[in-house]
């Protein structure tokens, strides 16, 4: 258990969905205190107890409302469908001041999920930044990691590209990537989120055409120093 893990509370907003539960599971396992948030605190409590069961009670996961979860968070992670993106953010805005929001949203527009269709801000993360303002750093990550893999024990063959509004915030989130037992890469400023989020549509297209369920990407040609994230 790392020093950060003992100190930090991660709120997973909209954490009753599959992706949120998968991430919450990984971070709770790594020793972080995790607070699942939901519009319904009842559902959040249920999701939290499901995760605690998977971990056999050895970790700290609780459930509550999104606002309460955001209040308690050191870092908040947003895992809602794009249709709930703006409303959820506006609801927790004041609770996120001075914190980092990790936006996991891929702005998919049905029915053409395999076509990149970004909001006017340029990406979901940039839209989140517009909503949350100067006091919140916004980082995009984890869109393409499948929840089945997060709840499994096999090595995940999908790297996590991390873009965001400050280098310091990206570095903090890269530590969360590592804590989730994934390989992360600093993929640059928040303007690059269109690539990270849009990759979801590209992978949906690849899944459809080549008959896969879990296509992903790996970065090649770089020897990563293990020291860089310590």
The reply to whether 168 sits near a copy of itself by the rule CB under 8 A is: no
Pairing of strands 160-164, 184-189: parallel
How many residues contact a copy of itself, by CB under 8 A? 44
218 touches a copy of itself by CB under 8 A: yes
What CA–CA distance (Å, rounded) separates 159 from 180? 11
Q: How far is the CB of 66 from a copy of itself (least distance, A)?
A: 30
Look-up: residue for tokens 């879990």?
A: 214
Token pair of 2, please? 């790392």
6 makes contact with a copy of itself (CB under 8 A): no
* Alpha-carbon span 96 to 197, nearest angstrom: 22
State yes or no: residue 222 binds a copy of itself (CB under 8 A): yes
Smallest separation, CB 204 to a copy of itself (Å): 8
* Residue in 15, 210, 229, 230 binding a copy of itself, rule: CB under 8 A: 210
Q: Does 115 bind a copy of itself (CB under 8 A)?
A: yes
Closest CA to 186 of 172, 200, 168, 171: 171
Secondary structure of residue 75 in the 3-state scheme: strand
Does an H or E element contain 126, and which?
Answer: helix 124-132
> How remote is the C-alpha of 175 from its chain's centroid?
13
- Of 1, 111, 154, 220, which lies in the binding site for a copy of itself, with binding defined by CB under 8 A? 220
Nearer to a copy of itself, 13 or 174 (CB): 174
User: Can residue 32 be called a binding residue for a copy of itself (CB under 8 A)?
Assistant: no
23, burial (CB in 10 Å: exposed 0-12, middle 13-18, buried 19+):
buried
Residues that bind a copy of itself (CB under 8 A): 114-118, 157-158, 161, 163, 185-189, 191-192, 194-196, 198-199, 201-202, 205-207, 209-225, 228
């Amino acid at each position: 258990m790392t020093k950060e893990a003992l100190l930090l509370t991660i709120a997973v907003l909209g954490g009753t969905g599959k992706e949120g539960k998968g991430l919450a599971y990984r971070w709770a396992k790594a020793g972080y205190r995790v607070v699942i948030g939901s519009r319904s605190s009842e559902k959040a409590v249920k999701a939290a107890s499901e995760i605690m069961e998977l971990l056999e009670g050895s970790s700290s996961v609780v459930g509550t409302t999104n606002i309460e979860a955001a209040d308690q968070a050191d870092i908040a992670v947003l895992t809602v469908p794009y249709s709930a993106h703006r409303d959820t953010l506006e609801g927790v805005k004041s609770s996120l001041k001075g914190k980092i929001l990790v936006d996991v949203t891929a702005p998919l527009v049905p029915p053409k999920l395999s076509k990149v269709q970004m909001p006017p801000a340029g990406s979901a993360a940039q839209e989140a930044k517009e909503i949350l303002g100067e006091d919140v750093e916004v980082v995009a990550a984890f869109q393409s990691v499948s929840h089945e893999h997060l709840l499994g024990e096999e090595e995940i063959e999908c790297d996590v590209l991390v873009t965001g509004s400050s280098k310091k915030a990206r570095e903090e989130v890269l530590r969360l990537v590592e804590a989730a037992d994934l390989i992360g890469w600093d993929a640059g400023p928040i303007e690059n989120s269109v690539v990270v989020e849009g990759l979801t549509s590209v992978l949906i297209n690849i899944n459809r055409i080549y008959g896969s369920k879990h296509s992903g990407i790996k970065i090649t040609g770089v020897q990563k120093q293990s020291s860089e994230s310590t």
